[in-house]
Chain A
Amino acid sequence: MDHEVMKERILALYDGELAGNARLEVQNHLSGCAECRRSYERWQRVAKGLFRDPQVQPSELFVSRVMERIDALERPRHAVPWTIRLRWAVPAMALASLLFLILRPAQRSVSIEALLLADARENGVTQLVLASRQPAADEVDGSIMEAQL
């Protein structure tokens, strides 16, 4: 048989792709041909040296991290846009402060706090909104991911 064809078959044997007669035929050739046997053994050694099972242990957090990233990817599509949320957040906070003042007029310290809150307007509101939207970092991740995809 053509040696070039045999070389390919020997690799197929090595890869476990041969069965029955084809397998026997190549095995017979190998036992009778020193050159092919050397080549077969050479590859065995290269493969053993270069390709090892890296013995990895998937981390416990893997699933939750992937879920977080999926969540971050999906959120912007379903959530109310940031600017609209902020626009509503300002009057909502003002209303909350007002109710606070009405309901707890006796406690001066609290009233001042509430007044400050009401006065803080956008700065204060932005901070509160940020605090209530904890996984902001993920969203950054998400937008980077989206840009890459």
Chain B
Amino acid sequence: MRKYQARTLRLCTSLLGDAILAEDASQEIFLKAYQALKAFRAKSTFSTWFYRIASNHCHDLLRKRARQKTESWDALVEEQGEQVQELFAVSGDPRTALENAELADKILSCLPAGARLILTLREVEGLSYREIAESLSCSLDAVKARLRRAREELQDKFRHLLDSGTSKE
């Protein structure tokens, strides 16, 4: 249980960017897993079965949050362009880790829920394409396409900051 507890909390914290919300969401995921346990068949591994429940729950939470959110990337770049550039700099300053985490959360919250989820499963959780496909109940090709689209969206949005950051160094 410890292993899944840490993983779930990490996923929820990465996606929700708030320790208290993440703790509560993790508890709810365990409750759902407990209730669904009877339906678990060894078709998938327990790990991906668990990630599926966690992913569904987080996706719902992110979608609910997206409806309340007013922030946009353009506004972020206008207000905090320099910090965003600093965030993407090759050598990050560890002293600004906390502010960076908040800024990263703001940027990611502008992504569609599904894009943020799949990127987090890959980049933070380190799931393979196959594991992501099972967790999100989609095909391998869909995983590749969704990951690519999400990455291109992020890179395109911040390209001018990324490129000017490179020329500086």
Interface residues in chain A, defined as those with a beta carbon under 8 Å from any beta carbon in chain B: 7-8, 11-12, 15-17, 38-39, 41-43, 45-54, 56, 58-59, 62-63, 65-66, 69-70, 73, 145, 149
A-B contact number at CB 8 A: 102
Q: How many residues of B are counted as interface, with CB atoms below 8 angstroms from the partner's CB atoms?
A: 48
Does B66 belong to the interface (CB within 8 Å)?
Answer: no
Given contacts A66-B30, A69-B27, A73-B31, 15 further A-B contacts (CB under 8 A): A8-B144, A12-B144, A15-B128, A42-B155, A45-B89, A50-B154, A51-B124, A52-B101, A54-B10, A54-B13, A54-B14, A56-B6, A59-B23, A65-B27, A149-B35
A45 and B88 form a contact (CB under 8 A): yes
A59 nearest in chain B by CB position: B23
* Assembly CA distance A95 to B108 (angstroms): 64
| Contact across chains for A45 and B90 when beta carbons are under 8 A apart | yes
Task: Find chain A residues with CB under 8 A from B1 CB.
Answer: 63
Bound-state CA distance A11–B23 (Å) is: 32
Give A47 to B158 CA distance when docked, in angstroms.
12
Q: Which residues in B have their C-beta under 8 angstroms from that of A45?
A: 88-90, 162, 165
Instruction: Report B134-169 residues with CB < 8 Å from chain A CB.
Output: 144, 147-148, 151, 154-155, 158-159, 162-163, 165-166
User: B88 and A49: CB pair below 8 A?
Assistant: yes
B148 neighbours in A (Cβ, 8 Å): 7-8, 11
CA A57 – CA B147 in complex, angstroms?
A: 28
- A69 near B144 (CB under 8 angstroms)? no
Chain B residues within an 8 Å CB radius of A42: 155, 159, 162-163
